[in-house]
Amino acid sequence: MKYEKLALEQYRELKKKCLTQFQEWDKTKGIGVIYTGEEISAMVQVTKPLLTLTVGRGIIVLEIDLEDPPTDTLQGVINAINTFGSGFAAALGDQFDGNEVSADLTVVAATACKNVTVWLAMDYNYKIRVTLPAVPAGKECKVTRVLGASTYGSGTSKIQVYVAGVKVWEENAGATTEEKEGSFDRISTELAEVAVVKIFNSEAMTAGYLTVSWEQKDAQPYTVY
């Protein structure tokens, strides 16, 4: 049995995939809004403190106060639009968590969103975010390397790793513009779990990048003692 385990482990190593994802800092995609209803036209507009949806000849169908709970966060605004429906739908940009202040949405004039997604930018973004794919059946994954840097004026900067929504690692990132590699060994994820890696600053950043490497291989069929 010992030799079988050794041969299987060697086979797993041969089939192992090593993957890398690179992400630049971005604040241009906070919320995406699209209209696919029957009206001939539709618009989305941010004037602060309001986000307004109109159809046809400027008929207002929904006004959202960006400072009034529960729509004072990006996810709250998305929920309000999706609950309203009527042909409108909204989604969160991949560089945001959803708990960001929706009043930080950048002012934008009325923009056509009929059958096209209009991405509403944010005035600020405090993070760079990489989301790894959920672990598929029969596989195991490990985050093996994190490398990145960010540009910021003051405050602190952290490297953070979340698995299934739980923060499992945090350490100081580099000073402004300084490249830093995470010092953790390896962080494992199991079936259906999603890992999210961030550089998160206490103050808004203006540039930066994040590279995350991970490996995926067949799950261990034996109990390891």
* DSSP code for 94: T
Quick one: pLDDT at residue 90?
98
Quick one: pLDDT at residue 192?
85
d(CA 71, CA 65): 7
Quick one: pLDDT at residue 3?
46
Give the residue extent of every domain in the chain.
Answer: 31-120, 126-218
Quick one: pLDDT at residue 10?
55
126-218 adopts what CATH topology? Jelly Rolls (2.60.120)
Quick one: pLDDT at residue 6?
46
Quick one: pLDDT at residue 14?
52
- For the beta carbon of residue 90, count every other beta carbon within 10 angstroms: 24
Q: What is the pTM of this model?
A: 0.87
Write phi, then psi, for 48 (nearest 5 degrees): 60, 120
d(CA 166, CA 196): 10
d(CA 53, CA 55): 7
Quick one: pLDDT at residue 200?
97
Mean pLDDT, each 10-residue run in order, the chain (225 residues): 50 72 98 98 97 97 98 98 98 98 98 98 97 88 94 95 95 96 89 93 96 88 51
Residue with tokens 């030799």: 3
Quick one: pLDDT at residue 120?
98
d(CA 166, CA 16): 26
Write phi, then psi, for 81 (nearest 5 degrees): -70, -45
Token pair for residue 195?
A: 């890992």
Quick one: pLDDT at residue 139?
86
Quick one: pLDDT at residue 78?
98
Centroid of chain to Cα 147: 17
H helix runs in the chain, sequence order: 2-15, 74-84
